[in-house]
Structure 1
Amino acid sequence: MDKDKKRKNLLAIERTFDVLRFIITVIVILSMIYLGIHFFRKGYNFVIKRNEVKDLDIEINIAPGNEYEITIPWGYSTDDIAALLKEKGFIDNVFLFSIWSKFIGYEGKYTAGVHVLDRTENYNTLDGYEKLMYILSQNPKKKPDVRVFIPEGSTWHQTEKILKDAGIPVDDDFWKKAAEHEYNYRFLEYALDDMKKEGRTNMFEGYLFPDTYIMDPEASPEVIVDKFLSNFENKFREEFYKKTEELGITVDEAIIIASLIEREAKLDNEREIISGVIYNRLRSSDPSLNYLQIDATIQYYYIESTGKVKDVLLTEDTKIDHPYNTYVHPGLPPGPICSPGLSSIIAALYPEEHDYYYYVARGDGSHEFSRTYDEHMAAVRKYQNNNR
């Protein structure tokens, strides 16, 4: 009897739990339906309201002194923005901001740049979230700065492309506007007249110092170019001016030589050697040696005319009548063929003293240096055969 009674009690308890589970399930489902309808109606009404008005007019009144500038970097997702807002103390719930943002149509609408918030306002409500979403989806007060990396040996054309790819608008008048500005740097006292000479592809070629820069994409051309020139000014030390005098060259000629070294040398330990070859040929009493015959000057012609280097230079390329072709014209080209790095500038000012007049690429990045034409031709035959 006791066992039957216990069994009946257990069955009754189970039925009670089943009923409770059913009731709880129904309550949960009804709650979810209610919340779904609530959020849908709110989201639907909000979206309809935004569509009914061309420019949604959310009142943004920020008292002087209460402005807080927040920067949304390029490429930030909704989740990233929510995390940033929480980090800055404007919201508490990253998940809710992200979900609500997606639900009411702001996903993918946020704009990178500097936006202004009210440091005294409580945005940590649903209405506050919506206000944040609206503000951060409008045109920013200012676009975010961009990081720009200019590799050593870049030409002005290549630098221009890098700037464009970074989001900096470089139009047809960019370099003209930059050239009209008066820059106040010591090196320009020595080089400016040379930089403005006829026959140069761009007066700033060679002086757009290769480095990593943080730039304002909305800055004027002269401000952008000034960053390059300012860096060049800082890198071109006092001793360099003295070295140009000792070598009997101008600052501009030093940069032209440095640009040749930059494009020719693949190994750091060969920069000063190649520099010495250039000086030896320039100073030679043999007129034929005054033709530097540097392949990089022909490649500069191709970069300028086609936007890229030629894979293999042929004998006919050495005959191209172009001012920068050092096979056709003796001495230095009219201007630098790239913006050299500091190592090449130093090499141009501190050439190695030797009696080499020639060099040929071995095919592994290094060069074979020769004193005589016969030695050079033997090296050419050797390495041309090896590299076939």
Structure 2
Amino acid sequence: MDSMAWVEPHEKKSTFTQVKVPTITSPKGFTASGLHAGIKRKRKDLGMIYCEVPAAAAVVYTTNAFQAAPLVVTQDGMKVDGYMQAILVNSGKANACTGEPGLQDAYQMRQSIATEMGLPAYRVGIASTGVIGERIPMEPLTRAVPTLVEQLGKEGGDPFSQSILTTDTGVKVVEVRFFIDGKEVRISGVAKGSGMIHPNMATMLAFMTTDAVIEPSLLQTLLREVTDETYNMITVDGDSSTNDMVVAMASGMAGHRNLTPEHEDWLTFQQAFAFVSKELARMIARDGEGATRLVEVEVKGARTLKEARQAAKTVVGSSLVKTAVYGADPNWGRILSAIGYSDATVVPSHTRVWLGDVVVVDGGTSAIYDEKLARKALEQSVVQIKVDLGAGKERATAWGCDLTYDYVRINASYRT
């Protein structure tokens, strides 16, 4: 075998700045609010993002066959012209698998905002997260809408971030700033997600705002591409939810020329958009229910990009790998086993595995390594597992977390 070092791909220098105190309302035109409506016992459970002008919008939805009513209603509105001006989100009740009554609740939820703000109903998106099979208590929700609208403001970013949480341990917010045509542009994102994470899309909600000037169709294409390499590359427990989605809204108020792939600053926007999505995805994975460590699995040497992604997600999603990480046990056999059943093309004689910087597998068999250093690599807050399949040139990264006793405790009593 040749050099044992893991070679990182060359990355272009970032052309954006990450903000230390991010908020979803930072881009021009956006305000937000969040409050306790009475859907949950105590914590905030109803939130809203509003744009003062119709915003170009893009949405990616869960692939679960049992799509929740809010997704059906939001898709219905997005079919009109691809613009959205407000999105209303509740936590505590998923309004999934609730039949026709649940669907009517979702339409009523949308109409409550449209009426209060004088908007066409199709310009309002809705989202819900919480317990599946339970309808939303509509009386407290609709009663809270006027106050929710009244509280809209630039300072409403944090209340909104709190209002969408379920078993999350904290808010997840990212913001970057950069320049297009000499005009400052901002992209912000906020997400929730802790359990039932195995997207395509699945249990997570993410909302992104920007003041960039971009057409809905191009924003939709970009969101789909970025979703495949970020949100769809995380897994906590392998379960796909009925509810969750990613929404991106662009106010166009930054004032630069319309963005297209031919624009000289297109790559800057694309890179910044992907960065916000990637950081939110990592935060969701790190906040997996009961998790103590973020696990990052990077696969290279794959025959195709699809196989690279497949192998990375299979390793990071393996319960045996996840428990080994929790116990800081450098049991590399579990990693090889997961690679073997991932259906990715593998050349065993060229396969290598690293735990951090420690090579534990070389040529499909055990390398000579220091057990203590390998264990130490698994004790880090961010555990890096690297795999070279030896079959090609494609690579991909997936994120997950360890599997702990607390995960069982949390999910054994979720409804109580």
TM exceeding 0.5: no
Please state which band the TM-score falls in when normalised by the shorter chain.
under 0.3
Question: Of Structure 1 and Structure 2, which has the larger fraction of its residues in helix?
Answer: 1
If the length of structure 2 is used for normalisation, what is the TM-score? 0.22
Give the number of the structure whose alpha-carbon radius of gyration is greater.
Answer: 1
Bigger relative contact order, structure 1 or 2 (CA pairs below 8 A, ≥6 apart):
2
Question: Of Structure 1 and Structure 2, which has the larger fraction of its residues in strand?
Answer: 2
